Structure 1
Amino acid sequence: MSPKDDVTWQGKQHYVLERLSLCWHRADISEAFFPGMIPITYAGPNDIPKGVASKVRLTNCFQTYNKEARAEFIGPDSPEAREQLGSVIFNGKIRPPMLDSALPCKWLQHCLAEHKCGLPKESPSSTEALGSEHKSVAYSVNKLHEKPGDEVSKLRFIDVTQHNIVEFRESDLLYQSFAALSYVWGRAQRLILRENNIAELKQPQSLVGKLAKTIVDAIQLTRLLNVQYLWVDSLCIIQDNHTDQSIQIDNMSKIYARALVTIIAASGEHANVGLAGISYPRTKHQVEVPLPETESDNPSSLLTTLNPTPSGFASWLIGCPWASRGWTFQEDELSRRKIIFAEQQVFWSCNKVQWAEETAMDTSLTMSTIAAFPLTADLREDPNRLWNPYFKFLVAQYSGRCLTNAGDAMDAFSAILQQHKSLTGSDFLWGMPTAYFESSLCWGRFEYTTLKRRPGLTTHPVASSKRRVPFPSWSWLGWEGRVAFEASFPFQWDDIPEEEANSTKEARIVSKSEIECYTLRQSPLRLKRVSMSGLSMTATSTLSVSLENILMELPAMTVEQLRDTPDEHYLYFWTDQAFLTTELYQILDQDGRNGVHAEWYPMPERYGKNILNEEGRKIGHCLATEQQPITSMNGASTFILIASQVSTNRYEKQVIAMELEFRGNVSSRVNIAYINESDWNSAVRERKLICLN
């Protein structure tokens, strides 16, 4: 809990309230686990064999419950608001099987009146809701003259009152009030928009009886919110028209950012499941556990929670199909207000607060947030943190998600890249920020995951031809698996004095780029520097690349071949190259097992590679990927210099090198390695012009 924007608390500026968690020793180690119980294998009595769980944990399993406390929502302007001072904030509530339709309306009304959750500015007014006995909210959008560029050449919605598709041309999203739906398609999509049915679906009532259950429920909720239009990708994008798909995908960052609210169907595996609590009841029951009587005037009990978690920082949406899909990630991140339908309850999340249906958190007295849903609004508002850690966090989370079509990897992240560009002014090349391009090449695999090359093909938006090409190996988009940016690319070498960096915790991963990357562009044939920041202009004379350099240093490449090369697909740069020996080793935990078996995250088998000098002494290391078979990871490998790290008192200064494999004059990235700088400088090196695909 934290104070409202216009309130200052004495003392602490926030308070943390935790639900009860349980951790106990097992009476019988052969006993089977019950659902929700999490085994803990790294602690326990000495007589428990290694690798056998000795304890069991259940987190967020009970909350306080006071029957006498006020449980219903109190609006910000209600005369009863003062009485909330005697209420129990964070008190448990009994969640009904079917959703109280007044609750999401009141949540939205509260946000519109109390919070500043982005533009456009809405002003709520009370009117009679359609088909409802309670007061709902009508929204009038103030026409704002903000930054240009929000115009969308063509925009379609579902009219939830007429049950048809409506189309606006040259529509400005600032002037539109609409909801959006985020859900998992699956294979149960009953109707999608096509060239041959768009005219029919524009007719009133043409959607009745034809839609999947999740979309039907979202239409019903949109009407309850008294919003006329709903945006659904399957019915607002012509699915067999590539031109329209491209236009609408480019507009997606504006659509979700400008939606009044986004309805998230988090629990359904496909579009025909529906929204829990609207078309079908929630089935889990909460149990009240009375506590011993005390002299308190407010006798309390414990109430079981609906979503126990495996750890204190695990999301309540862990395991939901929606939370594992690639396309839904940007829909979630860009939305400023969300009504989230999980299997057992509904959540509210906006840029200021996050509330749960089972807990009395929705009060006007304080800002309350569920830790399971980390807010990102503060990061967006702080330019210094947009890159580090916010962009790193986004890439790490998105890259661990699944895509049905591997070639969608760029499109499913493009809206976030567009948002970042609007906030920072920085361009991107294949998902890599051009402002810190050379440093961003130092991305690696996330510690507990494996990587393999992405098989899909895509069309790069800046390409002069519409030819479908593979993702480049140097971009994190070219790999499947969770990735991590090792280099702190928001900080330039010149910005951090070395003596200051030596004493900072983050200094070890602040990198100084040692290369200058160029890409090939057609019409006319030319080379283009990717980033104009980073290295000083005095150093560029020895690092710059020309077409003459390519034809001379890479003789297998002819002018004809260069003219047939896709735009901005290969990188060209000068660097030092060395041949070093690698040796595979297994990464074992303290019990001698391959992999780390933390209770909140299933871990695969993990391997690393030691890098050896000519005498067989270890001089560096890297985490192995799945790109090479395990049996072929020993032997000589080619490494090239990418960046050097700021030295610290704790770590020896290292260089960041890239392991390559070659096909003729063209190389592909295999891995990122860390090598002791002194050993790299003493190795046999050769200056080379690299063509990296």
Structure 2
Amino acid sequence: MSTAKEWLADCTCYKSRQGRAWYPTRLLDCGIEGGTESTRLIDTSSNTVDGAYMTLSHCWGDAEGTLKLTTENYAECLCEIPMARLPQLYRDAVYVTRQLGVRYIWIDSICIIQQGDDLADWHREVGLMEHVYSNTFCNISALHAPNSRHSLFSTRNTDFLCPQTIQIAYDGQQTAFLIRDDPYWHDEFEDARLHTRGWVLQERFLSPRVLHFGRSQVFWECTERDISELYGQVRLIYEQRFKSLFHCRPGPSSSRRIDDLYGNWERIIAKFARCRLTYPSDKLVAISAVAKHMSVLLQDEYCAGIWRGNMEQGLEWSVDSVETARRDEVHIDHLIRGFSTGLAKGGRLRLRAAALKTATLVPRGPHSRATPLNSWRPDIDGLESLGDKAFVSVALDAPYEYQALLRGQRPLVRLAAEMGSGPQDVVPAAGLTILATTL
């Protein structure tokens, strides 16, 4: 914990926010270091709260063994929650909170009523997520714990993990080489289990400072810098620029800064689309706190995933004119010019004199990643497809990229698709749906 304390001492992200005290509806009172082993839930509206609070980002997993706040145990939790009753991950989070000199921590399953009130409290508290995380002293991130029964910490061999210097003879001279794990940032940090969870994305982006506990090391992420415990400051221009813009102050902005913010929103949505949600109905609400924060920075109106001031770009398609006469055939070379950059089930389309239709690429039999070439039949609302060669890009929600030449009724089409998360790695016979037009 000494390294984490040094990072906190050097960071000014939270210091600049002091004087704007805001507290969640409820907090877990951890007491002080060396004090009682018990914790308790407090209602901040009826209790005097002094000082900062921490937050915890974690995977619920199967939720077995996770302590949940209900209408039945509410009064009991206000009196006392023995440490032995907390799952291992929560006990570790309380330990970290005390070690950093903070008394309170916010944990979703304990600080939001999960059962007994028809989710009334949950719906109310979800609307406060922007404030919960943007006002935290520091967010604790359990990168690889699959559920609350697992520990925040892990046993490790630092001699194996730390960079090693070796001597190699080259051209008759001994030369020193440093051996290090280059892809560690993506392997252990960006691709961590926690970062595949949809709700966690806004927790990470809204928190001014995050202390990430990985399998082999601890990571620090704030608006000023990213640090790896073993390798020091991480120089990731993309991430640093993004976080700096995201936590900038609202107010009059240059057109370039606004464009950057719109671009950052697109990056957020692209990352969010790759995350998993236990309940698909949470798709909009799980990103709503980020949208609220962005609306202040952009001074723009949020419309279910897109911004009014950036409507055409956000919709990913537009119609130039409707004066061209309707034709009975569909020309594939007009559907998509170049590779699309959209998310699953669609892409960036420029529609000309368009009547929107649905195009389905239907495979002739099963298609797997191991099959190099297969025939596909373009079916556009029953119309025959005509035209020259064209590029069509379809993104499936899976990790591997697969490319093949696909022969339609007449044209030769190249399909770039991501394949591979299903048990048999097979494209369903129903085909893949994209947007198309008649001209």
TM-score normalised by structure 1 residue count: 0.45
- For 2:258 and 2:377, the matched residues in 1 are separated by 34
- Tell me, yes or no, if the aligned pair for 1:193 and 1:237 is still in contact at 8 Å: yes
Amino acid at match of 1:671: I
Instruction: After TM superposition, give the deviation of residue 617 of structure 1 in Å.
Output: 2.1
Instruction: After TM superposition, give the deviation of residue 324 of structure 1 in Å.
Output: 1.1
Secondary structure at 1:202's aligned position in 2? helix
For 1:225, the equivalent position in structure 2 comes to 100
Secondary structure at 1:230's aligned position in 2? strand
For 1:431, the equivalent position in structure 2 comes to 305
Q: Report % sequence identity.
A: 20
- For 1:108 and 1:245, the matched residues in 2 are separated by 32
- Going from structure 1 to structure 2, the CA distance change for 1:328 and 1:397 (only over 3 Å counts) comes to same
TM-align CA RMSD: 4.3
Secondary structure at 1:374's aligned position in 2? helix
For 1:422, the equivalent position in structure 2 comes to 296
Moved more, 613-622 or 413-422: 613-622
- Tell me, yes or no, if the aligned pair for 1:396 and 1:483 is still in contact at 8 Å: no
Instruction: After TM superposition, give the deviation of residue 419 of structure 1 in Å.
Output: 1.1
- For 2:100 and 2:124, the matched residues in 1 are separated by 29
- Going from structure 1 to structure 2, the CA distance change for 1:238 and 1:202 (only over 3 Å counts) comes to same
**Aligned positions of 1:218-617 closer than 5 A:** 218-240=93-115, 241=117, 242-276=119-153, 280-283=154-157, 285-286=160-161, 288-291=164-167, 304-305=179-180, 307-309=181-183, 314=186, 316-359=188-231, 361=232, 368-371=233-236, 374-375=239-240, 376-380=242-246, 381=248, 383-442=257-316, 482-483=343-344, 576-577=354-355, 593=372, 616-617=386-387
Amino acid at match of 1:322: L
Alignment match of 1:120 (pick from 13, 17, 22): 17
- Going from structure 1 to structure 2, the CA distance change for 1:397 and 1:609 (only over 3 Å counts) comes to farther
Secondary structure at 1:179's aligned position in 2? strand
Deviation string, structure 1 residues 50-77 (Cα, Å, up to 9, x no partner): xxxxxxxxxxxxxxxxxxxxxxxxxxxx
**Aligned positions of 1:647-686 closer than 5 A:** 671-673=434-436, 683=439
For 2:6, the equivalent position in structure 1 comes to 106
Secondary structure at 2:286's aligned position in 1? helix
- For 2:29 and 2:224, the matched residues in 1 are separated by 29
Instruction: After TM superposition, give the deviation of residue 410 of structure 1 in Å.
Output: 1.8
Amino acid at match of 1:120: R
Amino acid at match of 1:156: R
Deviation string, structure 1 residues 74-99 (Cα, Å, up to 9, x no partner): xxxxxxxxxxxxxxxxxxxxxxxxxx
- For 2:238 and 2:358, the matched residues in 1 are separated by 45
Alignment match of 2:41 (pick from 165, 180, 196): 165
**Aligned positions of 1:31-70 closer than 5 A:** none
Amino acid at match of 1:577: A
For 2:35, the equivalent position in structure 1 comes to none
Instruction: After TM superposition, give the deviation of residue 102 of structure 1 in Å.
Output: 1.3
For 1:202, the equivalent position in structure 2 comes to 78
Instruction: After TM superposition, give the deviation of residue 482 of structure 1 in Å.
Output: 4.7
More helix by share: 2
- For 1:483 and 1:443, the matched residues in 2 are separated by 15
Instruction: After TM superposition, give the deviation of residue 247 of structure 1 in Å.
Output: 1.4
- Tell me, yes or no, if the aligned pair for 1:317 and 1:342 is still in contact at 8 Å: yes
- Going from structure 1 to structure 2, the CA distance change for 1:302 and 1:425 (only over 3 Å counts) comes to same
Instruction: After TM superposition, give the deviation of residue 257 of structure 1 in Å.
Output: 0.9
Deviation string, structure 1 residues 381-424 (Cα, Å, up to 9, x no partner): 47423443201100000111111222222221111111112222
Instruction: After TM superposition, give the deviation of residue 430 of structure 1 in Å.
Output: 2.6
- Going from structure 1 to structure 2, the CA distance change for 1:615 and 1:438 (only over 3 Å counts) comes to closer
- Tell me, yes or no, if the aligned pair for 2:71 and 2:113 is still in contact at 8 Å: yes
- Tell me, yes or no, if the aligned pair for 1:164 and 1:202 is still in contact at 8 Å: yes
Instruction: After TM superposition, give the deviation of residue 190 of structure 1 in Å.
Output: 3.0
For 2:332, the equivalent position in structure 1 comes to none
- Tell me, yes or no, if the aligned pair for 2:346 and 2:433 is still in contact at 8 Å: no
**Aligned positions of 1:73-88 closer than 5 A:** none
Amino acid at match of 1:343: R
**Aligned positions of 1:12-27 closer than 5 A:** none
Instruction: After TM superposition, give the deviation of residue 218 of structure 1 in Å.
Output: 0.8
Deviation string, structure 1 residues 333-372 (Cα, Å, up to 9, x no partner): 111111110100001111111111113x3xxxxxx43439
Amino acid at match of 1:356: S
Deviation string, structure 1 residues 145-177 (Cα, Å, up to 9, x no partner): xxxxxx67x61111111611111129999x861
- Tell me, yes or no, if the aligned pair for 1:253 and 1:419 is still in contact at 8 Å: yes
Secondary structure at 2:270's aligned position in 1? helix
- Going from structure 1 to structure 2, the CA distance change for 1:207 and 1:440 (only over 3 Å counts) comes to same
- For 2:186 and 2:167, the matched residues in 1 are separated by 28
- For 1:273 and 1:332, the matched residues in 2 are separated by 21
**Aligned positions of 1:146-165 closer than 5 A:** 155-161=25-31, 163-165=39-41
- For 1:292 and 1:578, the matched residues in 2 are separated by 64
Structure 2 spans left out of the alignment, 5+ residues:
32-37, 249-255, 319-341, 398-406, 410-431
Instruction: After TM superposition, give the deviation of residue 216 of structure 1 in Å.
Output: 0.7
Instruction: After TM superposition, give the deviation of residue 272 of structure 1 in Å.
Output: 1.3
Amino acid at match of 1:266: L
Deviation string, structure 1 residues 107-152 (Cα, Å, up to 9, x no partner): 101103xxx468523xxxxxxxxxxxxxxxxxxxx357xxxxxx67
- For 2:358 and 2:74, the matched residues in 1 are separated by 61
Secondary structure at 1:339's aligned position in 2? strand
**Which structure has the larger Rg?**
1
Secondary structure at 2:84's aligned position in 1? coil
- Tell me, yes or no, if the aligned pair for 1:607 and 1:624 is still in contact at 8 Å: no
- Tell me, yes or no, if the aligned pair for 1:182 and 1:331 is still in contact at 8 Å: yes
- For 1:357 and 1:423, the matched residues in 2 are separated by 32
- For 2:284 and 2:46, the matched residues in 1 are separated by 26
Alignment match of 2:52 (pick from 177, 183, 201): 177
- For 2:66 and 2:313, the matched residues in 1 are separated by 46
- For 1:330 and 1:230, the matched residues in 2 are separated by 18
- For 1:244 and 1:103, the matched residues in 2 are separated by 38
Amino acid at match of 1:374: E
Deviation string, structure 1 residues 499-545 (Cα, Å, up to 9, x no partner): xxxxxxxxxx8x7x99xxxxxxxxxxxxxxxxxxxxxxxxxxxxxxx
- Going from structure 1 to structure 2, the CA distance change for 1:254 and 1:615 (only over 3 Å counts) comes to closer
Amino acid at match of 1:378: S
Length, aligned pairs only: 357
- Going from structure 1 to structure 2, the CA distance change for 1:232 and 1:198 (only over 3 Å counts) comes to same
TM-score normalised by structure 2 residue count: 0.68
For 2:253, the equivalent position in structure 1 comes to none
